[in-house]
């Protein structure tokens, strides 16, 4: 799908190669409108998924020691009503998290029953974290954020998931598909990217995207995202709509890796970070250089 988007986007902006200020086009090409509608539908479906961001029900940071899990109010980590009263015991020691499941509980990882398991976290994107499923409603896993380990809990029956009514967006405008010059670094560098938690997490920066709007040059610094279907550039940015029409914490924009010295920035796909929907996410926040001094009236509005 990324290649289809690239081809459509490049065709739409071929006449705007000199990077003039975005101006609404009279006609939205049907192919672009259809591709964007498909992207938006997939975006909404991912949010609404049983283990999507709307299903998050808890985030519990761990320290060395034992934690009793379950819906029993006396547990150390209390799960929502409907979970087993006693799920089992979680133990953190030497950066390893071990789960011992209570005898009466059916817990599964990748469909296989587990009773005693050292849980793999999400530290390595190439090796998925162990997701522990309790029936068809509750799932939890271990997340690693810098030096911290935490338990992230999903509840497919969460109120947020049940009541989600969609996301308002600006009108689709192909003029906000921007062809930017990409200035790669000779060697990608690792930075400490700030997060909403007030912490930092390592992120790989491969270069910078440069574009001009209304005669003024702007720069956005991406971080490299590794995904099963290939690498992508993630731009975490804010603009003058942030805190007004759009989420105060900024927005995300994913782009394909550059083709030669160009990268396509489709701001119609600027979207809310997970933190706009849940208090249990650990989103990166915009770098100082990614706070744009202009209003980008494209993409998702605040939920």
Q: Tell me the pLDDT tens digit for each residue of 222-253.
A: 999 987 678 899 999 999 999 999 999 999 99
Q: Is residue 16 part of a domain?
A: yes
- Are the C-beta atoms of 220 and 239 separated by less than 8 Å? no
Question: Whole domain around residue 23: which residue ranges?
Answer: 2-49+166-290
Strand partners, 246: 242
C-alpha to C-alpha distance for 226 and 125, rounded to whole angstroms: 7
Q: What is the CATH number of the domain that holds 58?
A: 2.60.200.20
pTM, two decimal places = 0.86
- Helix, strand, coil tally for the chain in percent (to 5): 20, 40, 40
Does pLDDT of 203 surpass 90? Answer: yes
Give the domain-ending residue among 155, 187, 213.
Answer: 155
Query: In this structure, which long-range contacts are made by residues 143-146, counting pairs with CB atoms below 8 Å and at least 24 apart in sequence?
Result: 143/59, 143/282, 145/195, 145/197, 145/199, 145/201, 145/282, 146/199, 146/200, 146/201, 146/202
Domain match, 17 and 59 both: no
Domain match, 35 and 180 both: yes
C-alpha to C-alpha distance for 270 and 298, rounded to whole angstroms: 7
Domain match, 120 and 187 both: no
pLDDT tens digit sequence for 29-66 = 999 999 999 999 999 999 999 999 999 999 999 999 99
pLDDT at residue number 23: 54
Does pLDDT of 6 surpass 50? Answer: no
Question: In total, how many domains does the chain have?
Answer: 2
Single out the residue of 194, 177, 278, 179 nearest to residue 236, CA to CA. Answer: 194
DSSP letter string, 267-290: GGG-B--GGGT-TT---B---GGG
Helices (H) and strands (E) in the chain, counts: 3, 18
Does pLDDT of 190 surpass 90? Answer: yes
- Are the C-beta atoms of 117 and 99 separated by less than 8 Å? yes
pLDDT mean over 8-29:
48
Q: How confident is the model at residue 124 (pLDDT cuts 50, 70, 90)?
A: confident
Helix (H, G, I), strand (E, B) or coil at 78: strand
Q: Is residue 109 part of a domain?
A: yes
Give the domain-ending residue among 95, 122, 155.
Answer: 155
Q: Is residue 161 part of a domain?
A: no
Q: Is residue 238 part of a domain?
A: yes
Domain match, 132 and 180 both: no
pLDDT at residue number 9: 45
C-alpha to C-alpha distance for 120 and 126, rounded to whole angstroms: 12
Joined together, the tokens standing for residue 150 give: 């935490």
């Amino acid at each position: 799908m990324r290649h289809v988007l690239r081809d459509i986007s490049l065709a739409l902006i071929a006449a705007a190669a000199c990077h003039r200020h975005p101006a609404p086009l009279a006609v939205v090409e049907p192919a672009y409108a259809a591709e964007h509608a498909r992207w938006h539908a997939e975006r909404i479906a991912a949010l609404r998924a049983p283990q999507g961001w709307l299903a998050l029900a808890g985030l519990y940071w761990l320290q060395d020691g034992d934690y009793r899990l379950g819906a029993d109010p006396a547990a150390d980590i209390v799960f929502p009503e409907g979970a087993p009263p006693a799920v089992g015991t979680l133990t953190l020691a030497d950066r390893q998290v071990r789960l011992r499941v209570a005898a009466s509980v059916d817990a599964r990882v990748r469909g296989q029953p587990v009773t005693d398991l050292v849980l793999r976290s999400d530290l390595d994107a190439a090796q998925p974290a162990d997701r522990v499923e309790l029936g068809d409603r509750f799932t939890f896993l271990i997340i690693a954020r810098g030096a911290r380990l935490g338990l992230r809990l999903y509840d497919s029956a969460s109120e947020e998931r049940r009541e989600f009514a969609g996301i308002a967006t600006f009108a689709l405008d192909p003029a906000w598909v921007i062809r930017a010059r990409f200035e790669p670094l000779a060697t990608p560098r690792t930075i400490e990217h700030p997060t909403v938690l007030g912490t930092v997490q390592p992120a790989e920066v491969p270069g910078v995207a440069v574009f001009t709007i209304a005669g003024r040059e702007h720069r956005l610094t991406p971080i490299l995202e590794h995904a099963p279907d290939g690498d992508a550039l993630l731009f975490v940015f804010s603009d003058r709509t942030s805190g007004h029409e759009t989420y105060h914490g900024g927005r995300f924009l994913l782009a394909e890796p550059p083709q030669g010295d160009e990268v396509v920035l489709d701001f119609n796909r600027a979207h809310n970070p997970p933190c706009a929907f849940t208090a249990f996410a650990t989103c990166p926040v915009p770098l100082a250089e990614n706070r744009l001094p202009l209003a980008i009236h494209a993409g998702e509005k605040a939920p």
